[in-house]
Amino acid sequence: MCAGSAHWALIVARGWLVFDLTGSSGLVGAVTFAAMIPRFLISPFAGLLADRVDRRILLAWAFGINITHNLVLAMLTVVSFIEVWHLVALSFVNGSARAFQMPASGSLLPNLVPREYLLNAIALNSATLHGTRLLGPLMTGPLLAISSTAFGPGVAFFLCSALYVVGLVVVSSIGTVSRGSIQVDKGIIDNLLAGLKYVYRDDLLRPLIILVAVHCALTMSFESLLPVLASEQLGAKGSGFGYMMMAVGTGAIIGVACLTVVTSEYVRGRLLFTSGIVSGLAPALLAISPSMPMALLAAMLMGLSQGCFMTLFTTIVQSVVPDSIRGRVTSINNLHIGGIMAAFNLVNGSLADISGAPIILIFTGLAFTILMPITLANKSLRTQYG
């Protein structure tokens, strides 16, 4: 919860700082790209490491790097020495630490609870993670609304460091030793490819991985679009960006909390399909919202549908993947998600400077609504999940 709140607070403060300094959605997209591309470049090695070393230690190191990153970013901002290239470079450092954090935490979770409670644990963990999309912006929104360019984001970055410190203390208290297994008689490349082969040879996982990649590309790559949407269409500036992110988090909490009572795989399959359709329509609704209250409702619907969709996907994956290779499979998923979201945030931000954010939101959302049923037309998925 602490790390997630710090992450989303950073996204809001950093995104608004870039837009306030430059007035360019393209540069917001460039900074977002720098923060997300490590999930594509580093994830395979991070997953291998998560299967080789104690996952608690790897998670603690990732938190330590992000504590340092946020302190440097805060000091540069407060003294008004910050430039866009600083933000790009530091965003890459932040993204690299998260690239190691995600497979470590994702692989550690199933070792902390009995298997029969795995769905409940994943739903609870997802509720926590998605809930931080509310908590993080809630902490930074008032700062961006009342403070100067340097002071408001600077204080937000200090706050992010403090949250990571608390997270590091909590992680250090975990007593369960968790690690996978590596084939020591094979080289690094063979061990890296083991996760990729497992994913693409499995008739159940392969279509789901592809579907989630398309979902992240067309419905979840919206961070670079919201600052300009809040400023130009809704006239709400930095606080409006923060409030929309809070609405996304609120919707995600509601959606994921409802999943904790679902036990039927047939119902999960229906919910996966329904939440996918809604997550495609919700960005289009946000794009045509004429006022902030309407925009907040649309953003809440985005969070609800996206939270449900991604939690159901995670539950299916964690239920079928053996622990020995879980870190690498998680990293393969992060590779797809990170690479896709990095690229599309960069593209969407650049296109928004030309055509406007609403057009991008409408086109990408409706495109996913059309493509999703085609991707889900898979025999293994339909047999097991209806």
pLDDT for 148 beyond 60: no
Q: Say what the pTM is.
A: 0.72
Number of Cβ atoms within 10 Å of the Cβ of 347? 18
What's the pLDDT at 385? Answer: 60
Q: Which of 91, 82, 75, 86 is nearest to 37 (CA)?
A: 91
Range 89-93 average pLDDT:
95
Q: Decide: 72 and 203 in contact? Cβ < 8 Å.
A: no
Q: Select from 159, 174, 202, 41 the least CA-distant residue to 105.
A: 174
Name the token pair of 23. 């007035």
Give the pLDDT band of residue 295 (cuts 50, 70, 90): very high
Label each residue of 302-353 as H, E or C.
HHHHHHHHHHHHHHHHHHHCCHHHHHHHHHHHHHHHHHHHHHHHHHHHHHHH
pLDDT at 143: 78
- Residue 256 in this model has a pLDDT that exceeds 70: yes
Residue 282's pLDDT band (cuts 50, 70, 90) = very high
Q: How would residue 284 be classed by pLDDT, with cut points 50, 70 and 90?
A: very high
**Maximum Cα–Cα distance for the chain, whole Å?**
62
CA distance 227 to 230: 5
**Three-class HEC string of 174-191:** CCCCCCCCCCCCCCHHHH
pLDDT of 380: 60
The position carrying tokens 């400023």 is 231
Query: Is the confidence at residue 296, as pLDDT, over 90?
Result: yes
Token pair belonging to 255: 């959606």
Amino acid of residue 18: V
More reliable by pLDDT, 385 or 103: 103
The mean predicted confidence, pLDDT, of the chain is: 84
pLDDT bracket for residue 192 (50, 70, 90):
low
Cβ–Cβ < 8 Å for 172, 340: no
Identify the band that residue 302 occupies on the pLDDT scale cut at 50, 70 and 90.
Answer: very high
pLDDT of the residue at 360: 92
**According to the model, what pLDDT value does residue 170 have?**
93
For residue 378, the model assigns a pLDDT of 62
What pLDDT, on a 0 to 100 scale, did the predictor assign at position 186? 61
Mean pLDDT for the stretch of residues 143-147: 69
Per cent of the chain over pLDDT 90 is 28
Q: What pLDDT sits at residue 305?
A: 94
With DSSP H G I counted as helix, E B as strand and the rest as coil, what are the percentages for the chain, rounded to 5?
A: 85, 0, 15
* pLDDT single digits (tens) 340-383: 888 888 888 888 888 888 999 999 999 999 888 776 666 666 66
Kindly state the average pLDDT of the residues 284-310: 92
pLDDT of residue 42: 83
Contact assessment for residue 132 and residue 252, using Cβ atoms and an 8 Å cutoff = no
Confidence of residue 181 (pLDDT cuts 50, 70, 90): low
Under the banding of pLDDT at 50, 70 and 90, the label for residue 5 is very high
pLDDT band for position 133 (50/70/90)? Answer: confident
Contact call for residues 104 and 45 (beta carbons, < 8 A): no
The residues near 208 (Cβ < 8 Å, ≥ 6 apart) are: 313, 316, 317, 381
